[in-house]
Amino acid sequence: MPLSERTPLLIVRVSRPPPRYPHSRLRRTCTCCLGSILVVGVILFLLPFALLPREHGSLWDYASGPHLTGEEFQPTLWTKEQWDGFGLPKDKPCSYDVYINYPVDHRLALIEKDGEHSKVKFEASLEEDVLDDDSTSGLNNRIPTFHGYSASGNVTAQYVYVNYGTFWDFEDLVKANVSLEGKIALAKYGGGFRGLKVKRAQELGMVGVVIYSDPQEDGEITEENGYKAYPDGPARNPSAVQRGSVNFLSQLPGDPTTPGYPSKPGCHRVDPYDYIPSIPSLPLSYEEAIPLLKALNGHGPAAKDFNERWQGGGLSHKGVKYNIGPSPENLVLNLYNEQDYVTTPLWNVIGTVPGTIPDEVIIMGNHRDAWIAGGAGDPNSGSAALNEVIRSLGEALKAGWKPLRTIVFASWDGEEYGLIGSTEWVEENLSWLSKANVVYLNLDVATTGPNFKAAASPLLHKALFEATGLVLSPNQTVKGQTIRDVWDKDVDPMGSGSDFTAFQDFAGVASIDMSFAGGKNDPVYHYHSNYDSFDWMERFGDPASSCEAAVPPFNFQPLEEAMASFHDAATEFDAYTSSLTAHLKDDFPWWQYWKKIVLYFKIRAANDKYKLIERKFLYSRGLDGRHWFKHGIFAKWPADYILWSDVSGSSGEFRGRRCE
């Protein structure tokens, strides 16, 4: 679940904002931060090279066949064997019994009624084209198009175009008196997490949801603008389908039957339907959405008559007028979705490099499960990069090196269904993580384009900025440029959508997520499609809302005073740690060696305070209505904005910050 699903944040202002980086010296002196810089630097150095097929077979091994959550144990064994061969001293699979679904059958047909008779005007294939130039697209064991955690059902009803299907889009439809109850929603991908589109449709009494990929989301690189479609060019293939989970991620990641505790055999399980849909849904290509959209032409209001959120649409040149509907009473959709829900094992692989300080731990993780047979970008570019880091550290270990802090590597299973493998592992190891974990480094979609992107906890912005200045950019316009030189310096908030969620929002562990991604003028990445393939990666991926409201009269004076007090304490601690750092260079005579011991314990205590500061933002009772989420600052809002929340669950948006 990638960066495209994050949404921007509001700025909560007080009358006198504190300095942007009041703790720069503190961060610089904390060895935890320095350790993070080292590890991040290693990752950044290896990311650009992790996808070169002539040197690295691991990407093709991962991306050459299906590896849907829980279905294949072979990728688990292959990963463990690779890590053994790299010289990782301790690695083992760990399993959880989780509740997930697998596709059985599906159908989507546009039906015209004529009295007692009816005829099929259009029936979607619900498949992606097999391409001669993309070997992965034609595998016999490729995975059907479906939604994770979609409900089984067979519904026939009129349908309504709902734009992106966001909370505010549905509010606009309700205000416009568009009939929704008993209808099927036709929504575009984008604007928020797909599961929340289904959730809101369900809450409004709709009986099914179809979500398609509109070229509007592809920036400049579209067929309408003259670009050829993949495989002949960089534009989206018209038959591409985005699979994905429709669980209610803002309510609960992980196994929906075991909220807050690990899914071990024999454990107590709850009804999952507070966290997953009870209405069916299907993903669709824009090629097969066109007949459905054109059938709405002239029916109901037009999207162009709504507010700015409804403007645009990338299929107007195909004759689509983006009318809302509903469709006429004699024109209905039949949506059939059959899913097999099972409780089945999934396997994480956990590797450990013991450090000199065993109770200070850096964790680096990537998930290896995918919705498709390929997954060259998501997740296997990250898998290849993670393996390169392990291989490099393995060589250092063979030469006698030992890290100061313990390093844990994780290959997660079940990320795509709802961050299951990482969440269950964090829930099981929460007590240990709360005491020992310093930072979590996430690699999900490591490479799908040329532009460096990052999301990070505020405590790690400085470490990220310094690390990017140590590594040469793979996309230099001037010789010698570092990643920092060509990076826009924007750091996204962590939000949710990948395996850092349980670390950041449940355990209170500072986290970083990094990738190289495409922009509006770069080839279109076929997210969760069969065309996220080795062939696409070689050719294109890696070749060499406004809401106006009156402002309530909040009193921010107590908040300002608290922040000022915190700033004073941090400044004092800043000076204290600077003094400790200065004494590190002191050469004590042997009869004053005890001073070194005292200095060690003072530095250790200072590092412990830095390590545990993120935990201080955890609220043990959880946020209102979403008790799994513990972090009082960062949480995923029910309407899919990444929010600042107080302990009662009230929220206000912020934006990402520039890292300077």
* Close Cβ partners of 470 (under 8 Å, ≥ 6 residues apart): 37, 41, 44, 482
- With tokens 């080795």, the residue in question is 534
And the tokens for 451? Answer: 């532009």
d(CA 526, CA 215): 12
338: CB partners within 8 A, 6+ apart: 103, 104, 105, 106, 152
* Active-site pick, 388, 415, 416, 466: 415
Closest CA to 126 of 294, 240, 248, 2: 240
442: Cβ contacts below 8 Å, ≥ 6 apart? 364, 365, 366, 498, 499, 500, 511, 512, 513, 514
Dihedral (Cα; 424, 427, 433, 439), 10-degree rounding? 50
Report yes or no: 86 and 387 within 8 Å, Cβ to Cβ: yes
H helices of 262-379, in order, are 286-294
Which residues, in sequence order, are bridge partners of residue 409? 351, 364
Q: State in Å, rounded, how far the first CA of the chain is from the last one.
A: 28
d(CA 28, CA 261): 36
CA distances from 498 to 211, 415, 423, 468, 501 (A): 21, 7, 10, 22, 6
3-state helix/strand/coil string of 155-198: EEECEEECCCCCHHHHHHHHHCCCCCCCCEEEEECCCCCHHHHH
Quick one: the chain helix, strand, coil %, rounded to 5? 35, 25, 45
Q: In terms of Cα–Cα distance, which of 502, 494, 501, 508 is closest to 435?
A: 508
Which alpha helices (DSSP H) does 584-656 contain, by range? 593-612
CA distance 540 to 325: 38
Residue 414's nearest CA partner among 359, 321, 345, 360 is 345
Residue 220 annotated among the catalytic residues of the structure: no
Take residue 412 and report the two structure tokens written for it. Answer: 């997660």
> CA nearest 351: which of 392, 413, 411, 398?
411
Which pair of tokens denotes residue 171? 């509010």
Residues that are catalytic: 415
